Amino acid sequence: MLFNSKLPNVGTTIFTVMSALAEKHGAINLAQGFPDFSPSERLVRLVADYLEKGYHQYAPMAGVPALRERIVEKIAGLYGPSLDPIHEVTITAGGTQAIFTAIAAFVHPGDEVILFEPAYDSYRPSIELAGGTAKAYELEAPGFRPDWEKFKRLISSRTRMIVINTPHNPSGTVLQQEDLLKLEQLLQGTDILVLSDEVYEHLIFDGRQHQSILRFPGLRERGLAVYSFGKTFHATGWKIGYCVAPAALMTEFRKVHQFNVFSVNTPIQHALADFMKDPHEYLGLGAFYHFKRDFFLDAMEGSRLKPLTCEGTYFLLCDYSAVSEEPDVEFARRMTVEYGVAAIPVSVFYQSPREERIIRLCFAKQDETLEKAGRLLRKI
């Protein structure tokens, strides 16, 4: 049977490959971005309570009203704007579904979408499935900071959307207020949309502040902001997140959402609505992962790997050029097999070939896991 693949250049993701390699060789998996500890016991009990109460049927398409109200309260407290929970918030099956839906809703064949590389691997395939063309602005190691004068040269009459990600996966950098102000200025007078991936919004360190597009009126009016409960509450397998956008944009977003998911896990939505009544459950997340970052850095002290600055997320980049001249994919494979720690090679987050010798390690792990990983990394 003959057919043409819509994604001919896409194979099994590196995350699946490295996780399988880690399992095969009994290595510590610091490759894929998920915690090896459980969510709050109180949250788990709330989910169980709603299951026992019989909340087994479809939720409203846009999400349980109580949960959307909690989200609006949270956003008002953190970022300022007063949102409409009925028309400006939609619960999604994770951040990735929200990203795909936003791109599918607005990108037409021939449109261009600008993204920053290294980039989360779902952006480009989603753009290509919509018939769009992805144009990459390549961030350079070790700082991974955008030069907005260079960036604006990528903007053309065909630009439909710009995808930003802060805190940034995989680099761990955080956009500053001046970055968002510059982007806001660049887009004045255009019809260009901004898709802002903010799933690590609470994982920011060293006194920095998350600069959501919701803080900036000129970006909010053209923006779709994406968030993840899985990242925030240590439950990535629950696959639940949300999208925030002005009503006119959300109307189009929901046209796609209702046909690729329709609605999201009912008992978990109700449980999250109850759980979020206490904002300390998410406001303390930055300090929690700040400790994890520093604990991991201490554990690997003396390693020949050179850690780069980590301002946010639960990922740490390390330069291994003092260890090997191997390409990063080969080095990551060998590190898994020979030294017992699995990592992600950063080159896979770029479309064009890269020569930087940098790997990504996830520190969303128990202290015992990080301590053991540190001992192994010191042997490299």
Q: Tell me: the pLDDT tens digits for 80-118? A: 999 999 999 999 999 999 999 999 999 999 999 999 999
Please, how many CA atoms are within 13 Å of residue 357, restricted to the half-sphere of its CB?
A: 14
**What whole-number distance in Å separates Cα of residue 275 and Cα of residue 281?**
8
The H-assigned helical ranges of 53-147 are 65-79, 95-106, 123-129
User: What would the DSSP string read from start to end of 149-200?
Assistant: HHHGGG--TTEEEEEEESSPTTT-----HHHHHHHHHHTTTS--EEEEE-TT
Question: Can 14-37+284-377 and 56-279 be said to share one CATH topology?
Answer: no
pTM: 0.96
Cα separation, 96 vs 243, in Å, equals 11
Q: Cβ–Cβ contacts within 10 Å for residue 178, how many?
A: 10
14's CB contacts (< 8 A; 6+ apart) are 121, 329, 344, 345, 348
β-strands 159-165, 193-197: how paired? parallel
Band (240; pLDDT cuts 50, 70, 90): very high
Angle of CA points 203, 269, 48, to nearest 5°:
100
The domain 14-37+284-377 belongs to what CATH superfamily? Aspartate Aminotransferase, domain 1 (3.90.1150.10)
Judge if the upstream peptide bond of residue 167 is cis by omega within 30 degrees of 0.
Answer: yes
What pLDDT score was predicted for residue 207? Answer: 94
- The CATH class of 56-279 is alpha beta
> pLDDT of 244-301, one tens digit each?
999 999 999 999 999 999 999 999 999 999 999 999 888 899 999 999 999 999 999 9
Q: How many helices and strands, by DSSP H and E, does the chain display?
A: 15, 13
Q: What is the average pLDDT across 334-350?
A: 97
What's the whole-number mean pLDDT along residues 322-336? Answer: 96
355 confidence band (pLDDT: 50, 70, 90): confident
- How many whole angstroms from its chain centre is CA 351? 18
Given a contact cutoff of 8 angstroms between Cβ atoms, the answer to whether 349 and 117 are in contact is yes
Domains of the chain, residue spans: 14-37+284-377, 56-279
Residues of the chain with pLDDT > 70: what percent?
100
Quote the pLDDT of residue 358.
98
First to last CA, the chain: 49
Q: For position 244, what pLDDT does the model report?
A: 98
Q: How far apart are CA 209 and CA 124, in angstroms?
A: 28
Any residues with CB less than 8 A from the CB of 26 and at least 6 apart, and which? 340
| 266-275 and 41-52 helices, crossing angle to 10° | 130
Question: What is the CB neighbour count within 10 angstroms for residue 92?
Answer: 29
